[in-house]
Structure 1
Amino acid sequence: MSTDQGVVYLVGAGPGDPGLFTRKGEELLARAEVVVYDHLASPRLLDLAPPEALRICAGKSIGHCTLSQSEINETLVEHARAGKRVVRLKGGDPFVFGRGGEEAEHLRAAGIRFEVVPGVTAGVGVTAYAGIPITHRDSASAVAFITGHNGPNAEGGRLDWQALAQFPGTLVIYMGVTRLEAICHTLVKHGKPDSTPAALIESGTLPGQRTVAGTLATLPALVKEAGLGPPALFVVGDVVHRRPSLQWFEDLPLFGQRILITRPQDSARTSAKVLERLGAEVLVAPTVEIRPLDDFSELDRTIARLAEFQWLVFTSVNGVQAFFDRIEALDLDLRAVGHMKFAAIGPATAEALRRYYLRADVVPESFRSEALAEALAERVRGTRVLLARATRGRVVLKEELLKVADVEQIAVYQNVDADRLPESVMARLVDGSIDWITLTSSAITGRLHEVLGPELRERIGRTIKLASLSPVTTETASKLGWSVAAEASQYTWDGLVEAIVQASAINEKRRP
């Protein structure tokens, strides 16, 4: 038995932004067999677990996957005793108002080995994203983390509110939004000036983050007017005054934008990071999956006679990876293609070649099959060309090159249509809380159209904007009755992101 079987890892998921997740947490999720997660943990983190891992929602918030704490404890013990690697994914940090200590004690009493992986707690992460430093040399040299769950008037409360009112630093109050007025009143009653700066931060570190700042006297009314609610963090102290000069998250170019990526899972993970760095919330729902071939015999026979070809042409990053994965599987190395010249449809594909220490001899200025055919026409005249591609796709490249060269086309991987979109994504589409959908190929566009019902199809391109990677993809969307709000000028993922940024900036200027 592996040494990490029958173990529970209490892992902090951070305050919401999946980019704040720790490297150790990511490593453990990648090997998890069971994931028991809080509803506040980012859904993007669940994508890091193996597809076959059992996922159990254990949130205790009203209306969210209600498992009692004792049920959570027993669930962890049950799966660990079955020899499973269990990740208990907890919002924020496991030991900061997360009952991680209780769960660890229960595991110890049951004889189950556990490890704790700290996470970024909301009191540090959320405040930083709101531009409020919890300590500052000129404002506060101490900070207190407080739970407002029971409120200041609860019987048997363990907090000394009089002492907290006199605390010479920043108060960071978790779970206090529903008792905000009572907490403000109690602090003032015990001596905290009603002019003390205070702020409430809703959905901190997420694109829906909203911050209202005022004083202990004015904040409850301001929060009520703005309609803020949980999850929220309440901050009291002079450091709140620093927010106007230190806020940064809300200034990111895609802050507040909710974007659905429909690329295959492996590509989507890298793509999502680019959007998240710009402030967007990202959902991933592949409409097409990239998979190995079911039968490698034809590819293997072609690889065995690579000496017959002078050119090897790739039309995707996936094609490069799949081809050289097979080269390695056959116990060959780069000498098998040492005599060949290479063409790549775009810079991303060329970069994939460079990872194998190969340089593309041809990369067209416009990253389309037509442009690649034009760039290659004179170079490949009279030669033998091998096109490495997916099991399906456009045939224009082969047809154009056949006019000047002897061309063979070989499938090195397959595209498989997704049966449906995840239920969580469908719910977001239905409730209108997605702003953009990215389209990176005609196949992806067509499949998205197929998996959506008639009502949602009508909303795509209208209330939900589309961003297209290329004119070819845009044309496919148009034939399906969809209008595209942003099209990449350079047919790369970075070009598509830039198109969304520019379109979002224009829309922002048009707002009254």
Structure 2
Amino acid sequence: MTLRLPLPDGSAPHVLVVEPGPRASETVQSLLDQGARVDVQSPAPDARLVDLAGRRLITLHTEDDLDTGRYDIVLRDPLRAAATATTDRTTGRVVLVGGGPGPLGLLTIAGLEAVRTADVLVCDRLAPLAALEQAKPGAEVVHVGKIPRGEFTPQEQINAILVDRALAGRRVVRLKGGDNFVFGRGGEEWNACVEAGIPVEVVPGVSSSIAVPALAGIPLTHRSLTQGFVVVSGHVTPEDPRSDIDWDALARLGLTIVILMGVAALPEITARLLRAGLDPATPAASIADGGMPSQRLVRGDLATLPAAAAAEDIGAPAVTVIGPAVSALLPQA
């Protein structure tokens, strides 16, 4: 699905998607990648559409009598009735593809080729869904997104889907955001497939831990400021029994600290780093929806970042960066 963009006056078209199907999130991301502003009309939106609206990527309308005359393009969702693939092969395989931070342009060439040749695509909510437009006709698409505090597919079920489809002789691509082996649970999926006797390939992806700060103009290393960086998960607070990170040691390392999945726990994380002796004036930033049209950046310091992030409604997915390199680059005119 390709539009002729931009409009003759150079502006981005305002597109309304009607009759969205179960793969409407793919339609939306394809339109966003082409620069469109997207509204979706759905009296009963599914969790993925609600998630996209919550991330400010689309405007969602539930009314039936929406005025369509104010849109440049009204598009009936072309993926509303996608077919399921069949195959005669007896031996399948699984390809774990890291899709990068979201925009199609940051998916590798090898990753895109894997998408094009897949019989089955098992996709996360943060994967570059616009790539699915290039899937071969009849390819089965299975969405297994994990929406924060919302729709959730257990990892065991995802593993079972990969194994089941591959044992049926299909070429299965597991398409994730970022890199499968950086908090992507790709190792668990690898082991599940190997235990079932299924061959596994890996196509590395650009990790959001590196890409998202770069897209926001924040280097993770900078000569004379820091000689390295560390990437940690912030999905639980430092005081939670499930946390095995030595936050006190992080405060003493002198490295850039990159925190993934740390939106909800950000106040507790920064408080722990402050107690461990990290300077309150240490530059810090949080970036939400890196690389997407709704990308938002909040800068501050270690002491003020949680309040600033809350004031700007920074939500998941977001990457937080702490360290002198955050303020290393000169602002562009």
For residues 340-351 of structure 1, what are the structure 2 equivalents within 5 Å?
Answer: none
Change (3 A) 1:3 1:25: farther
Q: Among 130, 134, 137, which residue is 1:44 paired with?
A: 130
How far apart are residue 4 of structure 1 and its match?
10
Say whether residues 1:205 and 2:205 are aligned partners: no
Say whether residues 1:137 and 2:223 are aligned partners: yes
Q: State the AA in 1 paired with 2:276.
A: H
TM-score normalised to the size of structure 1?
0.47
- Rounded Cα–Cα distance in structure 2 between residues aligned with 1:124 and 1:15: 9
- Rounded Cα–Cα distance in structure 1 between residues aligned with 2:145 and 2:183: 14
- Residue pair 1:9, 1:88 contacting (<8 A) in 2 also: yes
- Residue pair 1:131, 1:244 contacting (<8 A) in 2 also: no
Q: Which residue of 2 aligns with 1:196?
A: 282
For residues 177-196 of structure 1, what are the structure 2 equivalents within 5 Å?
Answer: 177-196=263-282
Change (3 A) 1:65 1:51: farther
Q: Which residue of 2 aligns with 1:235?
A: 321
Q: Which residue of 1 aligns with 2:153?
A: 67
- Rounded Cα–Cα distance in structure 1 between residues aligned with 2:293 and 2:147: 21
Q: Following TM superposition, where does structure 1 have runs of at least 4 consecutive aligned residues deviating by more than 3 angstroms?
A: 1-5, 62-65
Q: State the AA in 1 paired with 2:140.
A: L
Change (3 A) 1:227 1:50: same
Change (3 A) 1:195 1:19: same
More relative contact order, 1 or 2 (CA 8 Å, 6+ apart): 2
Q: Which residue of 1 aligns with 2:260?
A: 174
Identify the structure with the greater helix proportion. Answer: 1
- Rounded Cα–Cα distance in structure 1 between residues aligned with 2:220 and 2:137: 39
- Rounded Cα–Cα distance in structure 2 between residues aligned with 1:187 and 1:102: 31
Q: Which residue of 2 aligns with 1:21?
A: 107
- Rounded Cα–Cα distance in structure 2 between residues aligned with 1:88 and 1:68: 15
- Residue pair 1:57, 1:65 contacting (<8 A) in 2 also: no
Q: Deviations over 1:169-206 (max 9, x none)?
A: 10000000111111100001011111111000010111
- Rounded Cα–Cα distance in structure 2 between residues aligned with 1:11 and 1:118: 6
- Equivalenced residue count is 247
Say whether residues 1:84 and 2:173 are aligned partners: no
The runs of 5 or more residues in structure 2 that have no matched partner are 1-86
How far apart are residue 5 of structure 1 and its match?
4.9
How far apart are residue 62 of structure 1 and its match?
3.5
How far apart are residue 65 of structure 1 and its match?
4.8
Say whether residues 1:108 and 2:194 are aligned partners: yes
- Rounded Cα–Cα distance in structure 2 between residues aligned with 1:216 and 1:172: 13
- Residue pair 1:32, 1:86 contacting (<8 A) in 2 also: yes
Q: State the AA in 1 paired with 2:115.
A: L
State the superposition RMSD in angstroms. Answer: 1.9
How far apart are residue 26 of structure 1 and its match?
0.8
- Rounded Cα–Cα distance in structure 1 between residues aligned with 2:137 and 2:277: 55
Q: State the AA in 1 paired with 2:300.
A: G
Q: Percent identity between the aligned chains?
A: 45
How far apart are residue 140 of structure 1 and its match?
1.1
- Rounded Cα–Cα distance in structure 1 between residues aligned with 2:124 and 2:97: 11
- Residue pair 2:89, 2:170 contacting (<8 A) in 1 also: no
- Rounded Cα–Cα distance in structure 1 between residues aligned with 2:91 and 2:260: 35
Q: Which residue of 2 aligns with 1:34?
A: 120
TM-score normalised to the size of structure 2?
0.71
Secondary structure of 1:145 counterpart: strand
Q: Deviations over 1:90-113 (max 9, x none)?
A: 110000000001110111111111
How far apart are residue 63 of structure 1 and its match?
6.2
Q: Which residue of 2 aligns with 1:265?
A: none
Q: State the AA in 2 paired with 1:206.
A: M
- Rounded Cα–Cα distance in structure 2 between residues aligned with 1:2 and 1:193: 62
